[in-house]
Amino acid sequence: MTAPTSQSELIIVLDFGSQYSQLIARCIRELGVYSELHPFNLPIDKIRELQPKGIILSGGPASVYGKNAPHSSKELFEIGIPILGICYGLQMIAFQLGGQVDTSVKREYGRADMFIDDDSDLFADIQEDDQNPTINVWMSHGDAISRLPRNFERIAHTKNSPICAIRNKERKIFGVQFHPEVVHTSKGKEILQNFLFKICGCKSEWNAGSFVERKLEEIRSTVGKEKVICALSGGVDSSVLAVLLHKAIDKQLYCIHINNGLMRKGESEKVVKLYRNTYHFNLDYLDATDFFLKKLKGVIDPEKKRRIIGKAFIEIFEGEAKKIGNVGFLAQGTLYPDVIESTSFRGPSHTIKTHHNVGGLPAKMNLKLIEPFRELFKDEVRNVGRTLGLTDEFINRHPFPGPGLAVRILGEITKEKLEVLREADDIFIEEIQNAGLYNTIWQAFAVLLPVHTVGVMGDQRTYENVIALRAVTSLDGMTADWAQIPPEVLYKISNRIVNEVRGVNRVVYDISSKPPSTIEWE
Ligand code: XMP
């Protein structure tokens, strides 16, 4: 990562392990200021180099005095950059600057009424009515500040938290016990706005366009004269990535579409045709069906499938890189949800799935990674794509996982099962397109279950496969609800699948949300 350009403003969020950390960064970007999440122990020199306009310390599940609790360095408070500590972040300020934190007599989870004691900066212009100096805030804490650090004053309190928000006006260090980044805090956005614009002096000049400018500069300076390989699956992320890279480094970019045999019906052909007709970057097509299917033979465990596929991709990229020559980088459209669900290095979140382009990569790789969207959510990447001029045909496609149909065939993968699933999936997508539902649904697909059930067709007993249909609505893939497809559309889909796909005698509809389920079945 390079230092920002003179015009671009950056707010750094230091992550102490809260489930809301990336939400803070996202809220700030929505307010028009570029924000990135970094680990809590980002070295001070690195922070100086990035020249942020402000720093936010996130919440976290630890207790500041706990064994192995994440601590920021004390120096952080001396570099003269405005700081806002949220929940654990507030307690960190007290811990480092001589205050006292104790386990609260009463823990506070959920809504609380907060009384504003000073409305001159962080809480300026947020009171709804002059007679009532309270706002609704969202609390989630066991510990609380019991003594202010030196040179700090209280600026808000609740019934259970006598010190709910603090300030050192001169050094521009603020802390709040509640979570301004969640929608349940009624004036959370305005409070963050006050921090950004009144306290840090930001100007709201970030948008997808300035993100593109910033990334073009970063990519050019990282890549230098070397070449970059980009795996163009045809999904939203890799499409936007390829166009961004092409703009940045033109002929130094080599896109490869790898058909791993796990694509949907006719997909590889469609993708290559679409790109060759629209864009003029180097694009190679490689049919690696047998290579992948051989490696996956007999494999049932979902995580093992993902790791095998990740490794096979890299083997191919490294082989191709050798052929092209002077390739230093592999570019991937990794998004924030891929990172957070695949790793736990930034916080306490457990590995949920090894997304193949993150945790599924082998430890030793000859190519360095370029992942410009690592901080973004899918809807943000779609905005970047629109800014780069990609049409709806590329942007509105449903997400498709890197391991493809491998994680939609439960159990062993065979060519025959792939054929059955492809046909069923194709009918499902065609019918939701016909019903005008495709763009209202985040993702829809068919899953082939590893069970046979009894049916009756034309007076004959059948004993065949079950197809599960999955369709969800979501904003960013982190949480999702099952889509309420009208019964008449489901009826038509089920009817067509059972009649047209050989080997299927039953269709079921998945009505689970995420959490507790995930979107993909494996
Ligand atoms: P889950 O199943 O974890 O999926 O709820 C969330 C979103 O991520 C996609 N997904 C993946 N994308 N590589 C990817 O590039 C993967 O290994 C992978 N696994 C899941 C999934 O399709 C959904 O949109």
241, 314, 355, 356: residue to mutate for ligand 1 pocket, most atoms within 8 A of CB: 355
- Other C-beta atoms closer than 10 Å to the C-beta of 1 total 10
For residues 169 and 50, membership in a common domain is answered with: yes
Distance 12 CA to ligand 1 centre (A): 27
According to DSSP, the β-strands at 327-331 and 227-231 are parallel
For residues 476 and 503, membership in a common domain is answered with: yes
Containing domain of residue 429, as a range? Answer: 414-509
For residues 193 and 317, membership in a common domain is answered with: no
For residues 182 and 101, membership in a common domain is answered with: yes
Domain presence at residue 515: no
CA distance 469 to 507: 7
Q: Hey, which residues are catalytic here? A: 87, 179, 181
CA-closest candidate to residue 477, choices 332, 336, 334: 336
Distance 377 CA to ligand 1 centre (A): 12
Nearest CA to ligand 1 atom 17: 355
For residues 425 and 366, membership in a common domain is answered with: no
Q: What percent of the chain has pLDDT over 90?
A: 74
For residues 215 and 189, membership in a common domain is answered with: no
For residues 226 and 124, membership in a common domain is answered with: no
Nearest CA to ligand 1 atom 12: 401
Tens-digit pLDDT profile for residues 331-359: 999 988 777 655 433 444 445 666 656 55
Nearest CA to ligand 1 atom 10: 401
- Other C-beta atoms closer than 10 Å to the C-beta of 365 total 13
For residues 221 and 342, membership in a common domain is answered with: yes
Distance 220 CA to ligand 1 centre (A): 29
Tens-digit pLDDT profile for residues 396-431: 999 999 899 999 999 999 999 999 999 999 999 999
Domain presence at residue 35: yes
Distance 292 CA to ligand 1 centre (A): 19
Nearest CA to ligand 1 atom 9: 401
pLDDT given for residue 452 in this prediction: 97
pLDDT given for residue 393 in this prediction: 86
**What are the phi and psi torsion angles at 363 (to 5°)?**
-65, -35
Distance 398 CA to ligand 1 centre (A): 11
Q: Could you identify the atom of ligand 1 that is nearest to the CA of residue 443? A: 24
Domain presence at residue 405: no
Domain presence at residue 458: yes
Domain presence at residue 400: no
Q: Longest Cα pair distance anywhere in the chain, in angstroms?
A: 86
**DSSP letter at 43?**
-
Instruction: Determine whether the shortest distance from the Cβ of 520 to ligand 1 is under 6 A.
Output: yes
CATH code, domain with 168? 3.40.50.880
Tens-digit pLDDT profile for residues 294-323: 999 999 999 999 999 999 999 999 999 999
For residues 280 and 428, membership in a common domain is answered with: no
Q: Could you identify the atom of ligand 1 that is nearest to the CA of residue 520? A: 2
Count of domains for the chain: 3
Last residue of a domain, one of 339, 360, 395: 395
Predicted confidence (pLDDT) at residue 223 exceeds the cutoff of 90: yes
Distances 151 to 98, 102, 171, 172, 176 between C-alpha atoms, Å: 10, 20, 9, 11, 16
CATH code, domain with 497? 3.30.300.10
Contact 40, 64 (CB under 8 A): no
For residues 191 and 241, membership in a common domain is answered with: no
For residues 178 and 262, membership in a common domain is answered with: no
Instruction: Determine whether the shortest distance from the Cβ of 443 to ligand 1 is under 6 A.
Output: yes
Domain presence at residue 407: no
CATH code, domain with 272? 3.40.50.620
CA distance 217 to 213: 6
